[in-house]
Amino acid sequence: MRLLVTGGCGFIGSNFIRFFLDKYTDASVINVDKLTYAGNLQNLSDLSESPRYHFIRGDIADASRMEEVIREGVDAIVNFAAESHVDRSIEDPSAFMKTNIFGTFVLLEAVRKSFAVPKIRFLHISTDEVYGSLGETGTFTEETSLAPNSPYSASKGAADMMVRSYYHTYGLSVLITRCSNNYGPYQFPEKLIPLMVSNAMEDQELPIYGDGMYIRDWIYVEDHCRALDRVLRQGRDGEVYNVGGGSERTNLYVAKSILDRLGKPHSLIRYVADRPGHDRRYAIDFSKIERELGWKPTVSFEEGIDRTIEWYQIHREWWTKIKTGEYLDYYKRMYQDRQNHR
């Protein structure tokens, strides 16, 4: 299989590329990434000399470039490319509209115009955030209505609808996955778990929004990669598959667990003013992918956190280089502003 991966230098994309090439020795991957702040070539530096891996710096919103890449011949596309951080979407939604909505449209149009026989499979990576927020009970199913509450989740929901329309209107071979919160190696340190781990390792404060009781379903990234491979190979055209870890935890529990494992005091936790439109709880019903494709998560939250902490301890140079300059200034300012407005 000749696979085109978009956004492959990001967290989940880079883990998936490595997983895919390790599993399928006859496969090759073309990775197109714009290399925005969260795209890091170092995430795949071990593959730079592999004849089965080819990197192209490019923007999925560049129609002529994407049409050129796809015309060269691919069997499937996995679209990870997205602006993905809620805080940044609140600060400036424009980049999210361009990449997440228009970029997805450009890719779909390039596939439609390719006239590939057999059809190119198009796997679109979405998020459980498109469903909005849950109360204390219940779970998101594939039939749950979309009710996004942030510019980020709204842009992903719009992209999902675009993908769906190209199946029903043009007959493209498309699939959509909506996954719960990922964690693991190579995650950019603006996200909760790597931020908590890296700050704790440096004896810095761990900023927690609001009361810390926001609940997320956590999945180790390797389990997500296995699910994506299963959907890509066996999923039914036009279908949505929810992917979850079965590990609901509050943000406060996550922070305390990390501090305990690193032998750090809970006094490092600092409560900051809440994020606007913060969804209270996410929980995923992944019974469809388990029933139809035989997938279920295999890494427990406790095992996954241990693996993740160990990776960040070993790869300290990787994340310390990132947590400098513009990134550090941006988040120091944001958290300070929110603390001042409590």
Tens-place pLDDT, residues 44-67: 999 989 999 999 999 999 999 999
**Average confidence (pLDDT) over 1-6:** 97
Q: What is the per-residue pLDDT across 76-100, written as a single tens digit (0 to 9) for each?
A: 999 999 988 788 898 899 999 999 9
The Cα 342–Cα 333 span in angstroms is: 15
The closest alpha carbon to 206, from 217, 192, 216, 220, belongs to 192
pLDDT at 340 over 70: no
Mean pLDDT of 116-140: 93
Alpha helices in the chain (DSSP H): 11-23, 63-71, 86-91, 94-96, 104-114, 151-170, 192-201, 221-234, 251-262, 287-293, 301-314, 316-322, 325-340
**pLDDT score of 251 more than 90:** yes
Q: What are residue 206's DSSP bridge partners?
A: 269
- pLDDT, mean of residues 277-283: 91
- Euclidean distance between CA atoms 103 and 106, whole angstroms: 5
Please say if the pLDDT value at position 162 is more than 80: yes
Q: Quick one: pLDDT at residue 325?
A: 53
Say yes or no to pLDDT of 275 above 90. Answer: no
Q: How far is residue 63's CA from residue 59's CA, in Å, rounded to a whole number?
A: 9
Look up residue 114 and give its two tokens.
């390719």
Is pLDDT above 80 for 337?
no
In the chain, how many domains are there? 1
Locate tokens 């509050």: which residue?
250
Give the burial string for 27-55 (b: 16+ CB within 10 Å, else e). Answer: bbbbbbbbeeebbbeebbeebeeeeebeb
pLDDT at 37: 78
In a domain, 189, yes or no: no
Least confident of 15-24, 124-133, 270-279, 286-295: 270-279
- Residue 338 is predicted with a pLDDT of 45
Q: What is the pLDDT of residue 335?
A: 46
Q: What is the CATH number of the domain that holds 100?
A: 3.40.50.720
- Let me know if residue 233 belongs to a domain: yes
pLDDT tens across 209-237, in order?
Answer: 999 999 999 999 999 999 999 999 999 99
C-alpha dihedral (241, 122, 46, 179), degrees to nearest 10: -20
Tell me, yes or no, whether 25 lies in a domain: yes
Asked whether residue 341 is domain-assigned, the answer is: no
Residue 294 in any domain: the answer is: yes
Whether the pLDDT of residue 13 is over 90: the answer is: yes
Residue 270: pLDDT above 60?
Answer: yes
Q: Is 52 contained in some domain?
A: yes
pLDDT at 39: 86
Which residues make beta-bridge pairs with 181? 218
Report the C-alpha gap between 169 and 33 in whole angstroms: 28
Tell me the pLDDT band of 277, cut-offs 50, 70 and 90.
Answer: confident
For residue 42, what are the domain limits? 2-184+220-244+277-299
Select the more confidently predicted residue: 38 or 74: 74
Catalytic residues: 128-129, 152
Q: Of the spans 37-46, 110-119, 292-301, which averages the highest pLDDT?
A: 292-301
